[in-house]
Amino acid sequence: MNMNKLILFVLIIGLGFSCSVKTDKNFNEFGLPDSLFALKNIENADLVYKVKYIDNKLFLDSLKKIEFVALNTTYKLKILAPILKQELGVDKDYVKSFMISYFISKQDKIGDYQPVIIWISGDDYTSLILTLVDSTLNPVSHLVLNGGLFAGPYEFNDSLTCWGEDKYSKINKNRIESYTLNTYVWTDSRNDSVFVDSINYKYQIMENGQIKTEKIDSIRIIKLIEN
């Protein structure tokens, strides 16, 4: 009788191990089906400033005709956690519990890599991120298209304050053009003007899944404040 129990116990352990391996295999085969994405091959990436989060759901606009699909825990840990560790320094438990994320658009494959665009929001953070994943859904590179971390105005010194950075992007297949705007204001006796630094970038998604960055130019715009 004891020997029969032992054989049954070993059999149960073996079946449990077999199931865990099968789950991983199914996950890789499942991949990123088109049904996860409400949009395909978007070009204007300024959606981060337009989408509406209503009743714990994300829509393209207030008409609520186009609804986006949220990332489940598996996708969050597989795709988002490595990205947000680089961007924000947060761990996977924080990403799983406190970051809201939705699939936005599936872009055409580049080489062996699949570009996807994801909307992410958390404490003082909202962004639209493009990431390239391999066949096992590991992110090999990523680029913040819009938004980012904004914890309110911050001071450089006693007299200069930055209102924050805005970023805007356009996508054309494997090429992306972006520009950032940083607005600064004097907080001392020179408060008769603000200045805006604008930086233009061009990016190229390579066949190996990496993103090549090229800074084009930067300009400073000074705006006078009328008293």
Mean pLDDT of the chain: 82
Show the CA angle centred on residue 51, arms to residues 177 and 71, nearest 5°: 90
Per cent of the chain over pLDDT 70 is: 78
- Please check whether residue 172 lies inside any domain of the structure: yes
* Residue-level pLDDT at 226: 58
Nearest alpha carbon to residue 164 among 146, 179, 145, 151: 151
- Please check whether residue 101 lies inside any domain of the structure: yes
Structure tokens at 142: 């990523």
- Please check whether residue 24 lies inside any domain of the structure: no
Per cent of the chain over pLDDT 90 is: 58
For 174-202, how does the pLDDT look when each residue is reduced to its tens digit (9 = 90+)?
999 999 888 888 776 666 677 888 899 99
Q: Which residues contact 78 (CB under 8 A, 6 or more apart)?
A: 137, 138
- Please check whether residue 203 lies inside any domain of the structure: yes
Local confidence band at 26 (pLDDT 50, 70, 90 cut-offs): very low
H or E stretch including 57?
A: strand 57-59
Beta bridge partners of 48: none
- Please check whether residue 26 lies inside any domain of the structure: no
| Residue in this structure with the two tokens 């130019």, named with its chain if needed | 217
Local confidence band at 147 (pLDDT 50, 70, 90 cut-offs): confident
Please state, in angstroms and rounded to a whole number, the distance separating the CA atoms of residues 122 and 126: 6
DSSP strand pairing (39-40 vs 100-106): parallel
Q: How many domains does the chain have?
A: 1
End-to-end CA gap in the chain: 94
- Please check whether residue 20 lies inside any domain of the structure: no
- Please check whether residue 23 lies inside any domain of the structure: no
Eight-state DSSP code of residue 11: H
- Please check whether residue 113 lies inside any domain of the structure: yes
Residue 120 above 80 pLDDT? yes
Q: Which residues contact 137 (CB under 8 A, 6 or more apart)?
A: 27, 28, 31, 32, 75, 78, 79
> Left, alpha or beta for 50 (phi > 0: left; psi -120 to 50: alpha)?
alpha
Full domain range(s) for residue 220: 31-224
Please state, in angstroms and rounded to a whole number, the distance separating the CA atoms of residues 36 and 46: 20
